[in-house]
Chains A and B, each alone.
Chain A
Amino acid sequence: MASYLRFENVTRRFGSFTAVDDVNIDIQQGETFSLLGPSGCGKTTLLRMAAGFDKPDAGRILLDGKDITPLPPDKRPVNTVFQSYALFPHLSVRDNIAFGPKIAKWPQDAITRGVDEMLDLIDLKAHAGKKPAQLSGGMKQRVAIARALVNKPKVLLLDEPLAALDLKLRQRLLVELDAIHDEVGITFIYVTHDQGEAMSISDRIAVMNKGTIEQVGPPAEIYEAPRSSFVAAFIGDTNFLDGRVTEAIDPRFSRCEVNGFGSIVIDNDKPVTPGDRVHLSLRPEKLLVSREQPSSSDLENAIAGKVEDVIYFGSHTRYWVRCGEWRLCAEMQHRKYQLDEQSPKWGDTVWLRWHANDGFLLEQYRAEDEGLLTLPDEDS
């Protein structure tokens, strides 16, 4: 697949701080591509360099094969949807949307047509004469999108476009944004720190940390097959286990000794040989909690532990279970919850069960990423 927007060895420093460190990304035409990471990871800097508000210290940015690195923002065929909307408060909705076309000196009837099309697209025709101050947050965001899209940019850059909105509205606008993307079919680059937003809207996600790309891939791959402890911990919640490979069962599975609770079966997500030290990520929802010892099977692991903490979330319950020196987090959906049901309580001994396929071997593990995990209060 040919790359449409390409970051080539892009580096940006602010004084001694390296905001973006030798980043390479290839984005395809028409896809929705997310830059996901915590604040300060360099995602916004990357976006601002694509828009032309910032220039890389090294490397270049290519759009459709042309080097756009030296171009100022007004000479680039890309447009931005700003986090704070950045609507012009002195102009009406219509004039906000018409701003770009007027600057580009479209003929009058083309401007009218273009703006009307956009007003239809965002369903704000009735509010065309209003000033931004008279609009709700969601409407402002839609105007910001229309104002950018009317110029028919080759790439639309969205900088945390929903961050200022409340949860319900955010979810609705995400669906709308997806629909708009389907309709206009141009490339979207979506910057966010919210993994849920990124997961639901993206074709592919680049997870960023400290100015570098940790992993690029479709949402499911990022979630199910995280390459590093950072990706595993930043997206969703997980448990980290480390152990030593003791024997190869067959080409796909190995046996592994985890300090404190004995031997478990793992999937060979990466090539391992006996003696290797491995780090395993185990998502809480993959762990089944039961009060009785499950019947053992070849590729299932089962270990016993003591419930140390229970938090009821409505749709599910979270358990923290002490297994030797490990404290594992498990999540149970309530599909047929009954109030009189005997669910595990604090102090109960329970069994945690998971299939070897449900754990994932990390290529890269850093102890500091444990800090990203949700932990119960030690006192509770």
Chain B
Amino acid sequence: MKKSRLPFATLLLVLVFFYLPIGFLVLNSFNNSRYASKWNGFSTRWYERLTERDDLVAALGNSLKIATGASLASMVLGTAAAFALRHRASKLQDAHRLLVAVPLVLPDILMGMSLLLLFISFGLKLSLFTITLAHITFCLSYVALVVQARLQDFDFNAVEAARDLGATKLQAFVKVTLPLLAPGILAGGLLAFTLSIDDYVITYFVKGPGSDTLPTLVYAMIKKSKDLPVINALSSIMLLVTFAVVAVSQRLTRPTPSSI
């Protein structure tokens, strides 16, 4: 029987569709022309221009600070949440599960708007700090999701074995549970880190004046049509970093031989 080729053709087209704009950006970042529509020879001048933009460097610094803080905090909170959610029959966990799910489904604009109103209501000054609080909130849920998946095929007998061999509860946690879950927690942390770096909408709502992150600054530049080729160069570098992060996280989340 002849297999239909149509689905495979669609798959191929979709993959082209996915990577076309990305390739276009990278290519254009080496375009000597100021305008994307004309190819005017190869140049690295936009990359050189990048180094002169102190505001971009400052925004990158802010993004990294926020992402680091948000991913670390959400790793702790999300891991605790994943452990708690293991208690399946508990009413408390039903409510907890719902709460953890809300940031995953709530549109960003509502999350940004509601957090803005919260900070205003409590008289909190909008700053890098409020951005970090907002980022921890949505990162938490993603970390919980990733760690929960890891916990599903976690062999709790290993923890019992540690206790049996004389380890106290704390020793068993530190010497067995944590090392075994570390790849999952780290993968969750990495996901949190990229989500935080990536976020524009929520950040835009809860950022104070002058506390720009990379996405909000880039967005403002695009809106003002200012230095667009520089954005291409910056984007290419960010893509490179993203691909590196994906590669690392692939190594981490790859099923360990023991779980086969």
| Closest Cβ–Cβ distance, residue A57 to chain B (whole Å) | 20
**Please, what's the 1-or-0 string for B249-260, where 1 marks a CB less than 8 Å from any CB in chain A?**
000000011111
Q: How many residues of B are counted as interface, with CB atoms below 8 angstroms from the partner's CB atoms?
A: 22
Cross-chain contact of A89 among B164, B168, B180 (Cβ < 8 A): B180
Q: Across the interface, do A134 and B164 meet the contact criterion of CB distance under 8 Å?
A: no
Indicate whether A87 reaches chain B with its CB closer than 8 angstroms: yes
Residues of A within 8 A of B48 (CB): none
Given A99-B165, A100-B165, does the pair A53, B160 have CB atoms closer than 8 Å?
Answer: yes
**Please, what's the 1-or-0 string for A66-78, where 1 marks a CB less than 8 Å from any CB in chain B?**
0000001110001
| Closest Cβ–Cβ distance, residue B52 to chain A (whole Å) | 48
| Closest Cβ–Cβ distance, residue B185 to chain A (whole Å) | 14
Indicate whether B55 reaches chain A with its CB closer than 8 angstroms: no
Given contacts A90-B179, A90-B180, A100-B166, 12 further A-B contacts (CB under 8 A): A51-B164, A80-B160, A82-B161, A84-B157, A86-B157, A86-B161, A88-B161, A89-B259, A103-B166, A103-B171, A133-B260, A151-B165
DSSP class of A's interface residues: helix, strand, loop or mixed? Answer: mixed
Residues of B within 8 A of A52 (CB): 163-164
15 intermolecular pairs with C-beta atoms under 8 Å apart: A53-B160, A53-B163, A72-B163, A79-B165, A82-B157, A82-B160, A84-B155, A86-B161, A88-B161, A89-B180, A99-B167, A132-B258, A133-B257, A133-B260, A151-B166
A-B contact count (CB 8 A): 72
Cα separation A73 to B176 with both chains bound (whole Å): 16
Given A86-B155, A86-B160, A88-B158, does the pair A104, B260 have CB atoms closer than 8 Å?
Answer: no
Q: Across the interface, do A88 and B176 meet the contact criterion of CB distance under 8 Å?
A: yes
Residues of B within 8 A of A79 (CB): 164-165
Indicate whether B162 reaches chain A with its CB closer than 8 angstroms: yes
Cross-chain contact of B163 among A74, A131, A147, A151 (Cβ < 8 A): A74
Q: Across the interface, do B258 and A131 meet the contact criterion of CB distance under 8 Å?
A: yes
Cα separation A202 to B82 with both chains bound (whole Å): 44
Interface centre among A52, A53, A82 (most CB of B within 10 A): A82
Q: Across the interface, do A133 and B163 meet the contact criterion of CB distance under 8 Å?
A: no
* Chain A interface (Cβ < 8 Å from any Cβ of B): 51-53, 72-74, 78-80, 82, 84, 86-90, 99-100, 103-104, 131-134, 147-148, 151
Q: Across the interface, do A103 and B165 meet the contact criterion of CB distance under 8 Å?
A: yes
Q: Across the interface, do B258 and A133 meet the contact criterion of CB distance under 8 Å?
A: yes
Residues of A within 8 A of B168 (CB): 74
Residues of B within 8 A of A74 (CB): 163-168
| Closest Cβ–Cβ distance, residue B88 to chain A (whole Å) | 15
Q: Across the interface, do B180 and A147 meet the contact criterion of CB distance under 8 Å?
A: no
Cα separation A91 to B165 with both chains bound (whole Å): 15
Given A131-B258, A133-B258, does the pair A88, B162 have CB atoms closer than 8 Å?
Answer: yes
Cα separation A90 to B158 with both chains bound (whole Å): 11
- B179, closest chain A residue (CB): A90
Cα separation A74 to B175 with both chains bound (whole Å): 14
| Closest Cβ–Cβ distance, residue B118 to chain A (whole Å) | 42
- A83, closest chain B residue (CB): B157
Residues of A within 8 A of B176 (CB): 88
Which residues 143-173 in B have Cβ within 8 Å of A in the complex? 155, 157-158, 160-168, 171
| Closest Cβ–Cβ distance, residue A82 to chain B (whole Å) | 5
Residues of B within 8 A of A73 (CB): 160, 163-164
